[in-house]
Amino acid sequence: MSSTSVQGEQFRPASRVASQKQDVCGYNPPKFITDAAKDALDKVDCNQYAPTKGRPRLKKAIAKAYSPLFGRDIDPDTEVVITTGANEGMLSAFMGFIEPGEEVVIFEPFFDQYISNIEMAGGVIRYVPLQPPKNGGSEVSSAGDWTVNMEALEKAINFKTKMIVLNTPHNPVGKIFSKSELQAIGDFCVQRNLIILSDEVYDRLPFTPFTRIATLSPAIAARTLTVGSAGKNFYCTGWRVGYLIGPASLIHYVAAAHTRICFSSVSPLQEAAAVGFEKAEEIGFWEQSRKEMKGKVERFCAVFDELGLPYSKPDGGYFVLANFARVKLPEDYKFPPHVAERPRDYKLAWFLIMEMGLAAIPPTEFYTKENMWMAEDWLRFAVCKEDDVLEGAKERLRGLRKYMS
């Protein structure tokens, strides 16, 4: 027995790091980005430490790209910080503002990395579930039909609450929070003096009108940190280039925490990302990307229409939730113990992998135990794949007919 396996048994990991997952795009970034990365490797300064807050060219490119979207001039020196992926950026925000015992409100279902990041900062999490569509199990619905219960949000707030986390477009639901929803949440945060961390990493893939909460009023903007991801924007998640935009009074402390966590982020890939932001609008990349992803969603969801399986049409991003209540798993099917004890969506996901050769994510993983019942008939699919992969997946899904009622 190796020493590695002995240590693995002897030293049990902390729960906050024991379950890690990732989503992977199925194709390369655009050529103008990869060419820029190759060029950056030939530059001496790009092969040395980047400034802790990010390479100036990238900060300027982000400020220029986002100033029109925010309706104001963004200062690249004081209102932008570059991080090692959006996830590390959010960890830096939690580390910069959350003291042990202070509370953070998140909406269920949630991106699972929020949990470990908040817990590492010593924070306590309060959960507010999005209400699923009433007829989501019997008919096609919109991701926008997953709604915010403002009364539940108010009940989750107390004197220890420091921050609210938003995710729009949302993973895994694909919901874009409406302007009225964001206004209500933003006004509430102003009244209760809360920081807003708005995770907008899928901001370049909206299929319906998209509002940024930081644009709603000066008072809301003054407490909002907007999270972005060059990796998501340009389909190069392995580059780990993220960024936060916000008022200097907030960005200062995010940058301070980022410096302690990883000092600085990968320099040549920051330079390449800068080229990406400089060229994307000019060459029509954002619109092309949005149209292509919307087309992938529509083509993939056609198989659910064909099978009569309800699904939630995403407002943006590249995830689709489909409802498998009509799929009847064989009563005598042998699931391994670690799957048999989990909710139905885990069994569905296991069955799809083993019998259909198709991978999907069980969304109860994005819920607390108390609210897993909301998602146990759903599965999440990622459509950020080549078209031939999606067509192959559709063909495999057609094999479910014999298991449907």
- HSE, CB side, 13 Å, CA atoms: give it for residue 214: 27
Binned at pLDDT 50, 70 and 90, residue 8 comes out as very low
> pLDDT for 129-143, tens place per residue?
999 998 988 999 999
Distances (CA, A) of 238 to 128, 294, 402: 31, 23, 39
CA proximity to 202, closest of 162, 172, 157, 232: 232
Q: What is the pLDDT of residue 9?
A: 53
Q: What is the pLDDT of residue 404?
A: 93
- Mean of the pLDDT values across residues 18-36? 74
200 phi and psi angles, rounded to 5 deg:
-120, 40
Q: What is the pLDDT of residue 26?
A: 72
Task: Tell me the whole-structure pTM to 2 decimals.
Answer: 0.92
> pLDDT for 102-156, tens place per residue?
999 999 999 999 999 999 999 999 999 999 998 988 999 999 999 999 999 999 9
- Mean of the pLDDT values across residues 205-216? 98
- Mean of the pLDDT values across residues 308-325? 97
* Host H or E run for residue 226: strand 224-229
> pLDDT for 298-313, tens place per residue?
999 999 999 999 999 9
Alpha-carbon span 47 to 271, nearest angstrom: 10
Pairing of strands 80-83, 242-245: antiparallel
Alpha-carbon span 75 to 94, nearest angstrom: 23
Alpha-carbon span 229 to 253, nearest angstrom: 19
CA proximity to 220, closest of 240, 191, 248: 191
Return the number of other C-beta atoms located less than 10 Å from residue 313's C-beta: 18
8 Å CB contact between 400 and 356: yes
Assign residue 199 a region (left: φ > 0; alpha: ψ between -120 and 50; beta: otherwise).
beta
